[in-house]
Structure 1
Amino acid sequence: MSISVTTWSLEQTSPDDLRPAAAPPGEVRIARAEVPSAEFSRFLYTAVGDDVSWRDRLSLTREQWQETIAAPGVETWVAYERGTPAGYIELAAQDGATVEIVYFGLIPAFRGRRIGGHLLSYGVARAWDLAERWPGTEPTKRVWLHTCSKDGPHAMDNYLRRGFRLFDTKIEEES
């Protein structure tokens, strides 16, 4: 049996597009995972994406995973609540002064606590200033992402509230 999956592509074309969320209550901090670790990245990916059917990276070998996250212009930012990983955002610089939000999400136990808007705001701001941390990278002119109908029920609303605009929609059948 196949199901219809809608994928939406969204973008910001100026740092002024970002509408930051307020910081959540409690002790939440966001830090860059400065040492690329395939094991930690896989943990975040599966912890966040398992219940929303993230599968595209599961077939990667450890070496392929490491190569992906250690590439120049790739950054992982992790939200922690009182020392426990709560979610992450992975950024990747692309040609044409573009930064893609490759992955973003929260571990299920941390959803619904206003951490997602804060993490997305922080990550988007880091996408806009990515060139400052990667010499030779062009200043960012566009930040984009895609989300789909399998993602969490609040994903699209969060992106729109942070100032992203829809630029493409695709519907595909998945078995």
Structure 2
Amino acid sequence: MTAVTTYYLEMNSPSELIEKTNSKGLNLLEVRVDQFEFNRFLYQYIGGPWEWTDKLSLPDDEWKQYVENPNLRTWVAYFDGAIAGYFELLATDDGDTEIAYFGLSSPFIGRGFGGYLLSEAIKCAWQMPSTRRVFVHTCTLDHESALRNYQARGLKIYKEETE
């Protein structure tokens, strides 16, 4: 069994964002109608190659409850009408906003979209009411560029665990 290292990263001020501004034609839209089936699809479609499995066994009512949480917001990135990626932001009552899920679909990895999409995710997180900290975690099961992308945008590691 291979050890998996999880990295916990944070940003404590919007001024720490090192923004990548070239969208390269990526269009970002917020999902404004709660449809748990769509979020589940995005989770499977984007996360499948990276072994995102923790939510796959959830029953419909738990997915519905998760997606209808007023503190959860979802954005989808499109390129020429195709889903290129997505992210979910989950705010807490104590001022933390988590980038709960973030990723690109397989055909769009390596095309230079990740830095821009992450910049937009961080900007959207800071625009959520009462955000005082943005945080995310990634692990060695994720794409090899994930940690570098998070750090390149200004997020800093505050904890690391290996199991």
User: TM-score, normalization: structure 1?
Assistant: 0.90
CA apart distance, 1:22: 2.7
Match among 156, 163, 168 for residue 147 of structure 2? 156
- The one-character-per-residue Cα deviations of 1:74-120 (angstroms, maximum 9, x if unpaired) are 00011000111111010000131110111000111111111111111
Q: Which residue of 1 aligns with 2:158?
A: 167
Partner residue, 2:55: 57
User: What is the rounded CA distance, in whole Å, between the counterparts of 2:98 and 2:145 in structure 1?
Assistant: 20
| Matched AA of 1:124 | I
Aligned-residue offset at 1:62: 1.5
The residue aligned with 1:31 is: 29
Please, what is the CA RMSD of the aligned residues? 0.9
CA distance in 2, matches of 1:48, 1:3: 23
- SS of equivalent residue, structure 1 residue 4: coil
1:11-160 matches, within 5 Å, as 11-25=10-24, 27-131=25-129, 139-160=130-151
Code of the aligned partner of 1:144 = F
SS at match of 2:147: helix
Where does the alignment leave 5 or more consecutive residues of structure 1 unmatched?
A: 132-138
Q: Percent identity?
A: 40
* Runs of 5+ consecutive residues of structure 2 not aligned to the other structure: none
CA drift at 1:3: 1.8
Structure 1 residues 96-145: Cα deviation after superposition (integer angstroms, max 9, x where no partner): 111011100011111111111111111110100111xxxxxxx1110000
2:4 is paired with a residue of what secondary structure? strand
Could you state the TM-score of these two structures normalised by the residue count of structure 2? 0.97
Structure 2 distance, partners of 1:115, 1:56, is 26
Aligned partners of 1:152 and 1:104: how far apart in 2?
11
Size of the aligned set, in residue pairs, is: 163
* Ranges of 4+ aligned residues in structure 1 off by more than 6 Å: none
Determine whether 1:10 maps to 2:3.
Answer: no
Q: Deviations over 1:138-171 (max 9, x none)?
A: x111000000000001101100010000000000
Q: Residues of 1 paired with 2:116 and 2:156: CA distance?
A: 18
User: Following the alignment from structure 2 to structure 1, what is the Cα–Cα distance between the partners of residues 145 and 31?
Assistant: 26
Partner Cα distance (2:35, 2:59) in 1: 13
